[in-house]
Structure 1
Amino acid sequence: MARIAAHGGGLVILLWLLLVVGGSVSAWFSNDKSQRAKNEQPDSATGTKPDTQDQSCFCHLTGVLDDCFCDIESIDVFNNFKIYPRIQKLTERDYFRYYKVNLKRPCPFWPDDSQCSIKDCQVEPCPESKIPVGIKAGNYNKYSQASNTRSDIEECEHAHELGAINSTLSNQSKEAFEDWARHDDAQDHFCELDDETSPDAQYVDLLLNPERYTGYKGPSAWRVWNSIYEENCFKPRSVYRPLNPLAPSRGDDDGEGFYNWLEGLCLEKRVFYRLISGLHTSINIHLCAQYLMDEGWGKTVWGPNVREFRHRFDPAETKGEGTRRLKNLYFLYLIELRALYKVAPYFERSIVDLYTGSAQEDATTKDLLLQIFNEIKAFPMHFDEKSMFAGHKMEAKTLKEEFRLHFKNISRIMDCVGCNKCRLWGKLQTQGLGTALKILFSEKEIKNLPENSPSKGFQLTRQEVVALMNAFGRLSTSIKELHNFRTLLSDQR
């Protein structure tokens, strides 16, 4: 009986082992088959079959983004089919193609590194004769043409600057109040704005000066980004490592380092880093997509450089950080998308015209803009800015001011870029993001603005509007270019 029991117990154990191992093997084969079937499905964004070896830049670029509730695939479809075609048309209109900028402002942080002498670094200014008359009128175009008689302008300016203050106030008191009003407006600004009245400020036709690789690189370019990451991004005081994604590694960085300490920061500080990283990523994608390919026979050819794209975003060449950089681009896209959603009521008022001096041009431009806003309103997964600066009132106010000043400092660093074309697009995209942050975190109410009162509450200058839409257009282009690079990598198999 003991032998039977022993043999019976062994048989039970043997059967149990067969069931467990068999089940595990079966599950393994089932999972492997499922995974292979999944890999053989066409990619939703490209229509091609992914290959993790040939498309390692994209193999983990999927799923829900950190710090928000939106998935990358939804953004791809929304941007590439609904937003990108419209934003391209919008930024080609006269109102958005001419941007006034001062490219001669000195670097406020270190001696000039000398200007880039490469011909592709130069910016072609736009003659005054080419600028539409309505745009040359400056802030005159913020409101409808009908309301812009001289007396109306003076009345609006008086109401905006002096409010209900009695006209018998002394000049000194009026100046003090005006200083206070300017200071109050400045609290909304997240970036350093160029003085459009400066003799050094000039109009630039953005269509004639496209953003692309100019050859500007080396210590001067590295110094700009290093200053942005090392001196202006939030990080624990006890941690030191090269935050610049393009900075040389110290040898002990496994690619996970910055995310390990980033997760220890509060939401606002994580968001700040991800915005800067996303902006950097977007700019690098533009340079990879419009790379100088050939200058032979007197003809310059620009096009996508897959090798350069891999260098900047392949996990194998970036110690695992390439995919995170791309995810930060999507995160930045959501932030600016949310700002446009929030500011839509401002532009929907009939009193706000995109004034160029041509009624037909203005109507077409505003119609395109409102089409974009309608698409944005239908997007179901917007970032919730109310989750930020929502703690203890005084602590939140202090953190918000620190956040604002850090970003404002970064906008000033753009005046240290040695390549004029790089400086142009860096300033425009930084100012566009700064305008988006102003919209998201302004204490002035944007909704329910009086239809016929342009002088009260939230305001945007033409410079801010042009920067806002062009910056978002650049992000939209970056996401579209990712689709193109995915296709190119697939074709190389």
Structure 2
Amino acid sequence: MLLRRPGEDTMRPLITFILLSCLLPWQPESRANAASSAHSCFCQVTGYLDDCTCDVETIDHFNNDKLFPKLQKLLETDYFRYYKANLKKPCPFWNDNSHCGIRDCAVQPCPTDAVPPGIKSPGYKYTEAANRNGELECEKEKRLGAVDESLSEAAQEAFSQWNHHDDNSDDNFCEHDDEESPDAEYVDLLINPERYTGYKGSDAWKIWNSIYEENCFKPKAVKRPLNPLASGRGKKKETMFYSWLEGLCVEKRAFYRLISGLHASINIHLSARYLLQDTWMDKIWGHNVTEFQKRFDATQTQNEGPRRLKNLYFIYLIELRAISKVLPFFERQSFLLYTGNDTKDLETKQLLIDILHDAKDFPLHFDENSLFAGDKKQADRLKEEFRQHFRNISRIMDCVGCFKCRLWGKLQTQGLGTALKILFSEKQIENMAESGPSYGFHLKRQEIVALLNAFGRISTSVKELENFKRLLDNV
């Protein structure tokens, strides 16, 4: 029989209460820290955007609940998953033969027989008639501007004129790869996804530094915030930069916000598809909250992170406006998203049209008429300067040492450049013929694939913010 000490029955509940009291405070504190983490990243990313009438909450609801699922389905189709790029072009700005030796930097090109015949056939370029006549003979492919003589005279004329249009067009914002180059290869974007590769440090920052410091509109003496290659990374520098940026005209502010938004989007992708575990058996990719906070947390970035996220929404509005305005180009009965499978091609076009109508119905579009307004000569001069700066950025992509980063960098800059081309071609789109070539405006297949995939990346980034917010709430 066990003997109890006097008062033991009354002491035991008291001791239990004291022990529980010591443990209980940790739970509220953990919740407070979690709320603080989410608050630190997202507290300033609300409400209306600079230079826009739209707000963040409207974009979140529209993208996450309506557009994102349809867009992902579209980008899985054969027409949009194959992108042709030359990843072997030398850097045009500095001598740099160093390439990323990390295996995740590699890109796996498509075998020739894996690409749908309607995509790789040069015989179809602009017309349904040309598409249905198959590929050009090998020897004709080698001749610049070769035309399949089995086509109708109208198709031959359209093909020839569009070749001339592509070669001489001055409405492009990007340097396009030569698709006929022996170094240009088709890449399946679904098996070469954009994700963290380990490419970082001075090589990666050299690319971004060249983009920001040499191509954004600002005096070289004014350094952007948190540039690791610049001295004086203090709060005073950040304040000076943004006070100067806000003093720019709307076009030059827009240029910076587009580049910053693209940069933010890429960083979100890398944080969302981070290499969490790498063993000889398997690799696990997933969300890295710490990496996300390092890039966007207000405290860790001296309040720069929330600005970057707001710029992500800005580029979303720009690209959304572009795809809404290009609807007439795709709605033409003669236009096909041709791969060689008639049934699937029709379904793909119908899905694309559905997405573009959703985009058109968005209630708070960016007003591109606010750009390049005023004196026509001055506006035209500024637009050309804008175009040349962006073309430079597209060329910088050939300096990226990681091939997978180079692939997605080229695609996303070409997509954004195509969006800008659309926004500044409103009259040409309005005057476009229902059938046959419309000499004032045209999109090549590469531009179409880049435009929708680039917007898909921005859309994915907005969706991922919802995921990171939930993860930070549960930290």
TM-score by length of 2: 0.85
In the TM superposition, what whole-angstrom CA distance separates every residue of 1:14-63 from its partner, at most 9, and x where no partner exists? xxxxxxxxxxxxxxxxxxxxxxxxxxxxxxxxxxx993454310011100
> Match for residue 336 of structure 1?
319
* 1:28-427 correspondence runs (5 A): 51-138=35-122, 140-145=124-129, 150=148, 152=151, 155-156=154-155, 158=157, 185=169, 187-236=170-219, 239-242=221-224, 247=229, 250-254=232-236, 255-427=238-410
Deviates most, 253-262 or 84-93: 253-262
SS of residue in 1 equivalent to 2:430: coil
SS of residue in 1 equivalent to 2:64: helix
SS of residue in 1 equivalent to 2:285: strand
Alpha carbons of 1:154 and 1:425: their partners in 2 closer, same or farther (altered >3 Å)? farther
Checking the alignment, whether the CA contact within 8 Å between 1:225 and 1:244 is kept in structure 2 is no
Q: Following the alignment from structure 2 to structure 1, what is the Cα–Cα distance between the partners of residues 395 and 415?
A: 14
Q: CA deviation at 1:450?
A: 1.7
Q: State percent identity of aligned pairs.
A: 60
Give the paired residue count.
Answer: 427
Q: CA deviation at 1:141?
A: 4.5
Q: CA deviation at 1:225?
A: 0.4
Q: Following the alignment from structure 1 to structure 2, what is the Cα–Cα distance between the partners of residues 139 and 213?
A: 38
Q: Following the alignment from structure 2 to structure 1, what is the Cα–Cα distance between the partners of residues 34 and 352?
A: 36
* 1:465-476 correspondence runs (5 A): 465-476=448-459
Checking the alignment, whether the CA contact within 8 Å between 1:142 and 1:354 is kept in structure 2 is no
Q: Following the alignment from structure 2 to structure 1, what is the Cα–Cα distance between the partners of residues 97 and 216?
A: 23
Deviates most, 437-446 or 256-265: 437-446
Q: Following the alignment from structure 1 to structure 2, what is the Cα–Cα distance between the partners of residues 201 and 474?
A: 23
Checking the alignment, whether the CA contact within 8 Å between 2:34 and 2:474 is kept in structure 1 is no
The amino acid of 2:86's aligned partner reads N
Alpha carbons of 1:288 and 1:323: their partners in 2 closer, same or farther (altered >3 Å)? same
> Match for residue 20 of structure 1?
none
In the TM superposition, what whole-angstrom CA distance separates every residue of 1:158-192 from its partner, at most 9, and x where no partner exists? 357669xxxxxxxxxxxxxx98x56751x200000
Alpha carbons of 1:262 and 1:242: their partners in 2 closer, same or farther (altered >3 Å)? closer
Q: Following the alignment from structure 2 to structure 1, what is the Cα–Cα distance between the partners of residues 208 and 152?
A: 42
The amino acid of 1:250's aligned partner reads G
Name stretches of at least 5 consecutive residues in structure 1 with no aligned partner: 1-48, 164-177
SS of residue in 1 equivalent to 2:326: helix
In the TM superposition, what whole-angstrom CA distance separates every residue of 1:408-448 from its partner, at most 9, and x where no partner exists? 00000000000000000000000000000010113751124
> Match for residue 442 of structure 2?
459
Q: CA deviation at 1:157?
A: 5.2
Checking the alignment, whether the CA contact within 8 Å between 1:192 and 1:411 is kept in structure 2 is yes
Q: CA deviation at 1:153?
A: 6.2
Q: Following the alignment from structure 2 to structure 1, what is the Cα–Cα distance between the partners of residues 158 and 88?
A: 35
SS of residue in 2 equivalent to 1:117: coil
Q: Following the alignment from structure 2 to structure 1, what is the Cα–Cα distance between the partners of residues 60 and 152?
A: 44
SS of residue in 2 equivalent to 1:294: strand
Checking the alignment, whether the CA contact within 8 Å between 2:123 and 2:131 is kept in structure 1 is no
The amino acid of 2:91's aligned partner reads C
Checking the alignment, whether the CA contact within 8 Å between 1:116 and 1:216 is kept in structure 2 is yes
Q: Following the alignment from structure 2 to structure 1, what is the Cα–Cα distance between the partners of residues 190 and 63?
A: 21
SS of residue in 1 equivalent to 2:63: helix
Q: Following the alignment from structure 2 to structure 1, what is the Cα–Cα distance between the partners of residues 127 and 157?
A: 16
Checking the alignment, whether the CA contact within 8 Å between 1:224 and 1:416 is kept in structure 2 is yes
Checking the alignment, whether the CA contact within 8 Å between 1:97 and 1:206 is kept in structure 2 is yes
TM-score by length of 1: 0.82
Q: Following the alignment from structure 1 to structure 2, what is the Cα–Cα distance between the partners of residues 158 and 452?
A: 13
Q: CA deviation at 1:453?
A: 2.0
SS of residue in 1 equivalent to 2:110: coil
SS of residue in 2 equivalent to 1:155: helix
The amino acid of 2:157's aligned partner reads H
SS of residue in 2 equivalent to 1:256: helix
SS of residue in 1 equivalent to 2:380: helix
Deviates most, 359-368 or 250-259: 250-259
Q: CA deviation at 1:465?
A: 0.2
Q: CA deviation at 1:361?
A: 1.3
Q: Following the alignment from structure 2 to structure 1, what is the Cα–Cα distance between the partners of residues 159 and 112?
A: 30
Q: Following the alignment from structure 1 to structure 2, what is the Cα–Cα distance between the partners of residues 54 and 97?
A: 34
SS of residue in 1 equivalent to 2:275: strand
Checking the alignment, whether the CA contact within 8 Å between 1:415 and 1:423 is kept in structure 2 is yes
Q: Following the alignment from structure 1 to structure 2, what is the Cα–Cα distance between the partners of residues 116 and 129?
A: 29
Alpha carbons of 1:249 and 1:63: their partners in 2 closer, same or farther (altered >3 Å)? farther
The amino acid of 1:399's aligned partner reads L
Alpha carbons of 1:244 and 1:152: their partners in 2 closer, same or farther (altered >3 Å)? farther
In the TM superposition, what whole-angstrom CA distance separates every residue of 1:170-218 from its partner, at most 9, and x where no partner exists? xxxxxxxx98x56751x20000000000000000000000000000011
SS of residue in 2 equivalent to 1:104: coil
SS of residue in 1 equivalent to 2:386: helix
Q: Following the alignment from structure 1 to structure 2, what is the Cα–Cα distance between the partners of residues 342 and 55?
A: 36
The amino acid of 2:201's aligned partner reads G
The amino acid of 2:154's aligned partner reads E
Q: CA deviation at 1:138?
A: 3.4
The amino acid of 2:313's aligned partner reads Y
Q: CA deviation at 1:455?
A: 4.5
Q: CA deviation at 1:267?
A: 0.5
In the TM superposition, what whole-angstrom CA distance separates every residue of 1:117-159 from its partner, at most 9, and x where no partner exists? 1000000010000000000113714332577555556534535
Name stretches of at least 5 consecutive residues in structure 2 with no aligned partner: 1-32, 134-147
Alpha carbons of 1:347 and 1:330: their partners in 2 closer, same or farther (altered >3 Å)? same
**What is the RMSD computed on CA atoms of the aligned residues?**
2.2
Q: Following the alignment from structure 2 to structure 1, what is the Cα–Cα distance between the partners of residues 113 and 246?
A: 53
Alpha carbons of 1:230 and 1:113: their partners in 2 closer, same or farther (altered >3 Å)? farther
The amino acid of 2:42's aligned partner reads F
Checking the alignment, whether the CA contact within 8 Å between 2:68 and 2:460 is kept in structure 1 is yes
